[in-house]
Structure 1
Amino acid sequence: MPEQHHRPVRRPTSVFDNMVGTHDPAEQTRIAHATASALLTRVRADESGVSAERLVAFTAEHGIDEIAELWSKAPSRTLPGALWRLYVLQLAIHGDPQTAALLYDRGRIELASADAVIAGAPTPAEPRELVVLIDTILRGAFRGDFAVALDRAAAFCRVQASGGTHLADDCEATEPDRASALTTRALRLSSYAQDLSAAGALWRMDALA
C-alpha cells in the first residue's frame, strides 16, 4: 500500500456512488479474504474490546480508502464483502446523519415488516441516534454474533430503502433530480440488504469465506 501522510477523511455526499479499489482482481481477492479472516479472528480474541473499539472508530479517523483497497472489490456475499458493506453504511451515516434519519423515519412508517424492530433504532430516530446505532451494529460484528449484526444491518438497509423510495415518489414531479438520487440510493440499499442477509445465512452455515 503506498505511503501517504495526513490523508484527509473522505466524506462524499453519497458514499454509495464513490467506491474505489485496487487494480488486480486476483490479488485483491486473495488479500481481501486473508485480511478479513485474520482481522476478525484477532479482534474476537481480544476480550478487552479495545481492538473492536479501534475498528469501529477507524473510518472516522482515516476515511475509507484503506479499507477500500482491501475489500471493496470482494464478492458481495463473502466475509470481506460483508465487512466492506458494514463500513460503507457506517461512513454514509456518519457523513450525513440527517438524511439517514429522514430516510429511516419515512421507511419505518411505510414498511410493513419487523425490520425497524430488528434494526433496533429508537422511534423516532434522531440523527445522532442512528450514528450510535450503526456503530453498535459494527461493534456487534466484531464482538457479538456476527450473523445477528449482519441481519440488523440488512434490516436497517431495508427500512432506509423503503424511505428513499417513498421520498423519491413524493418529489418526482417537483424535484426530479432529487427523486433520481433517492431512487439510486434506495436501490443500492436494497442490494446491500440482500447481500448482508445472504452473508448472515452463510455465516450460520459456517460457509462465509
Structure 2
Amino acid sequence: MSSTPSPRFRRPAPLFAARAEEIPGAPDPQLATDLGHESARALLDGVYRSTDPAVVERVLHLVETEGLDDLASLWSGSPAETLPGALWRLYVLHTWAQRNAHDVVRRYREGTHTIPGLRYLAGVAEPPDIDQVRATLDEILRGAFTGDLPIALGRAGAVAVLCAHGTAHLADREQTPELQHAMTTQASRLLSTGEELTEAARMAEAGTLS
C-alpha cells in the first residue's frame, strides 16, 4: 500500500476570501470573473487527480457543508458557456433534486409524456421515484468531477428539459392564475437551464468549455 498522502481537498470559498481581501472597495468585475474560473478549474482538476474517494464525496456534499451562497459568490454571475457557469447550474439542479425530490419526480414524470426519448439520455431508472432521482443527480454530479464532464452536463440538461416540459403541463392544469403564472415562469427557467447545460456539454466535449 502506498504511503503517499492523497491530494488535500481545497474548497473554493477560501480562495475567494483570500483574493477578495486584496481588492480595495468594490470587487473588480474582471477579478471576480477570474476568481470564478480559477476556483472552478482548481476544484475540477483537484478532484479529478485525487485518488481519495472521500474527496469526491466532499465535493458531492459541498452545498450541504459550505452553503449555496458560497458557490453563488464565485460562480452565479458566470455565463452558462463557461466552466464556473456550467458547474453553478449543475449544483443548483442537484440541490433542488435533493431538497425537493418529490416535486422533481412529479415534474419529471409529466415531462416524459412529451419527450419520452430524452429520458434515456437523463439515465433515470423507470419508473422514477424519489430515491432514484436523488441517486441519479448524485451520480451526475459525481461524474462531472471524475472525468465524465460532458456526459454529466448532458444528462443534467436532459433532466432539466424533462422537468421543464412537465412543469408546463402541470401549469396548464392549475386553476389559480397566480400559481399558473408562477409554474409557467419556472418551466421557462428550467428549459433555459436545460438548454444551457446541453450546450455546455457540447462545449466540454469539444474542449472549449473554460
Q: Same fold (TM over 0.5)?
A: yes
CA distance in 2, matches of 1:2, 1:165: 40
Structure 1 residue 204 displacement after superposition: 1.5
- Deviation, structure 1 residue 24: 4.2
| Residue matched to 2:39 | 35
Moved more, 81-90 or 120-129: 120-129
Deviation at 1:58, TM superposition (A): 1.3
Q: What is the aligned counterpart of 1:66 among 70, 73, 78? A: 70
Conserved 8 A contact 1:25-1:73: no
Residue 148 (1) aligns with residue 148 (2): no
Alignment partner of 1:57 out of 52, 55, 61: 61
What stretches of structure 1 of length at least 5 have no aligned partner? 4-21
Mapped to 2, the partners of 1:183 and 1:63 lie a distance apart of 28
Cα distance between partner residues in 2 of 1:141 and 1:176:
39
Counterpart residue identity of residue 188, structure 1? R
> What is the CA–CA distance in structure 1 between the aligned matches of 2:170 and 2:107, rounded to whole Å?
8
Q: Note if contact 1:116-1:156 (Cα within 8 Å) is conserved in structure 2.
A: yes
* 1:52 alignment partner AA: V
In structure 2, the partner of 1:166 is 169
Q: Partner of 2:99 in structure 1?
A: 95
Comparing 119-128 with 98-107, greater Cα deviation is found at 119-128
Q: What is the Cα deviation at residue 25 of structure 1?
A: 2.5
- Alpha-carbon RMSD across the aligned residues, in angstroms, is 1.8
By how many angstroms is 1:63 displaced? 2.2
Q: TM-score, normalised by structure 1?
A: 0.84
- Kindly provide the amino acid, as one letter, of the partner of residue 81 in structure 2: R
TM value normalised by structure 2: 0.84
1:45 aligns with 2:49: yes
What is the percentage of aligned positions where both structures have the same residue? 35
1:123 to 88, 112, 126: 126
Q: Structure 2: which 5+ residue stretches go unaligned?
A: 1-15, 19-25
What are the equivalent positions in structure 2 for 1:78-89 lying under 5 Å apart? 78-89=82-93
